[in-house]
Structure 1
Amino acid sequence: MRKITLKLLTKLPTRFVASGLILILILFIYGIVGSHLIMGLDFIDSIYYAVITMATVGYGDYTPHTGIQKIFATTLAIGGVAIFAYVFNLMLTSFQEKMSEYSKGAKKMKTIDDMDDYYILCGFGRVGKIVFEELTQRNQNVIVIDKDEDVCESIEESDSVVVLQADATENDLISELAGEKCNSVIISIGDDVSNLFIVLTIRENNQDTWIVSRASKLENIPRLRKAGADKIVSPEVIGGKNLYYESTRPHVLRLTVRHAPEELLDEFEVIVKHGCTLETIDYHFPGIETPLSRKIKTMDLEDGKKYDHYLKTHATAKEALENLYDSVNNIHSHLISGPDRATFDRLVEDLEKQEEIIGKNLTNKEIAKITRKNIK
Structure 2
Amino acid sequence: MRKITLKVLTKLPTKYVTSGVILIALLFVYGVIGSYFIMHLNFVDSIYYAVITMATVGYGDYTPHTGIQKIFATTLALGGVALLAYVFNIILTNFQEKMSNYSKGVRKMQAIKDMDDYYILCGYGRVGKVVLNELTQRNQNVIIFEKNEEICESIEENESVTTIQRDATEDDLIAKLAGDKCNSVIISTGDDVSNLFIVLTIRETNPDAWIVTRASKIENISRLRKAGANKIVSPEIIGGQDLYFESAKPHLLRITVRHTSDEIFDEFQIIAKHGCTLENIDYHLPGIETPLTREIKTKNLLDGKNYLNYLDTHADQKQALKNLYKLTNNTHSHLISGPDKPTFDALVNDLEKIDEIIGVNLSDEEIAKITKNEI
* TM-score, structure 2 normalization: 0.68
Offset at residue 373 of structure 1 (A): 4.4
Instruction: Output the CA distance in 2 between the equivalents of 1:332 and 1:174.
Output: 48
Offset at residue 283 of structure 1 (A): 9.5
**Partner deviation per Cα, 1:55-107 (whole Å, 9 max, x = no partner):** 01011111111110110000000100011111101110111011110100100
1:258-273 equivalences in 2 (<5 Å)? none
Letter matched to residue 184 of structure 1: S
Partner of 1:109: 109
**Partner deviation per Cα, 1:205-254 (whole Å, 9 max, x = no partner):** 11111110000111000000001101100123337xx9xxxxxxxxxxxx
Letter matched to residue 173 of structure 2: L
Are the structure 2 counterparts of residues 183 and 67 from structure 1 closer, same or farther at C-alpha, using a change threshold of 3 Å? same
Partner of 1:364: 294
Letter matched to residue 364 of structure 1: R
Instruction: Output the CA distance in 2 between the equivalents of 1:76 and 1:13.
Output: 27
**Partner deviation per Cα, 1:305-338 (whole Å, 9 max, x = no partner):** xxxxxxxxxxxxxxxxxxxxxxx99846444xxx
Asked whether the 8 Å contact 2:142–2:161 carries over to 1, the reply is yes
Partner of 2:199: 199
Partner of 2:4: 4
Instruction: Output the CA distance in 2 between the equivalents of 1:163 and 1:286.
Output: 44
5+ residue gaps, structure 2: 243-253, 260-277, 296-320, 332-354, 357-375
Instruction: Output the CA distance in 1 between the equivalents of 2:135 and 2:279.
Output: 20
Asked whether the 8 Å contact 2:120–2:184 carries over to 1, the reply is yes
1:158-169 equivalences in 2 (<5 Å)? 158-169=158-169
Partner of 2:176: 176
Choose from 258, 267, 271 the match for 1:286. Answer: 258
Are the structure 2 counterparts of residues 232 and 41 from structure 1 closer, same or farther at C-alpha, using a change threshold of 3 Å? same
- The two structures, once aligned, show a CA RMSD in angstroms of 2.6
Asked whether the 8 Å contact 2:280–2:293 carries over to 1, the reply is no
SS in 2 for 1:144: strand
Partner of 2:128: 128
Instruction: Output the CA distance in 2 between the equivalents of 1:34 and 1:286.
Output: 99
Asked whether the 8 Å contact 1:218–1:236 carries over to 2, the reply is no
User: Alignment length, in residue pairs?
Assistant: 275
Instruction: Output the CA distance in 1 between the equivalents of 2:279 and 2:89.
Output: 63
Asked whether the 8 Å contact 2:281–2:293 carries over to 1, the reply is no
Offset at residue 362 of structure 1 (A): 4.6
SS in 2 for 1:364: strand
Asked whether the 8 Å contact 1:283–1:291 carries over to 2, the reply is no
Instruction: Output the CA distance in 1 between the equivalents of 2:99 and 2:71.
Output: 41
1:1-376 equivalences in 2 (<5 Å)? 1-238=1-238, 285-286=257-258, 290=280, 331=286, 333-335=288-290, 362-364=292-294, 369-370=325-326, 373=330
Asked whether the 8 Å contact 1:28–1:50 carries over to 2, the reply is yes
Instruction: Output the CA distance in 1 between the equivalents of 2:329 and 2:73.
Output: 95
Instruction: Output the CA distance in 2 between the equivalents of 1:285 and 1:58.
Output: 93
Are the structure 2 counterparts of residues 175 and 14 from structure 1 closer, same or farther at C-alpha, using a change threshold of 3 Å? same
SS in 1 for 2:79: helix
Instruction: Output the CA distance in 2 between the equivalents of 1:221 and 1:112.
Output: 31
Offset at residue 368 of structure 1 (A): 7.4
Instruction: Output the CA distance in 2 between the equivalents of 1:368 and 1:94.
Output: 67
5+ residue gaps, structure 1: 243-281, 293-327, 336-360
Asked whether the 8 Å contact 1:115–1:141 carries over to 2, the reply is yes
Offset at residue 372 of structure 1 (A): 8.3
Rg larger for: 1
Offset at residue 285 of structure 1 (A): 3.7
Asked whether the 8 Å contact 1:284–1:368 carries over to 2, the reply is no
Asked whether the 8 Å contact 1:54–1:79 carries over to 2, the reply is yes
* TM-score, structure 1 normalization: 0.68
Are the structure 2 counterparts of residues 163 and 333 from structure 1 closer, same or farther at C-alpha, using a change threshold of 3 Å? farther
SS in 2 for 1:108: helix
Letter matched to residue 6 of structure 2: L
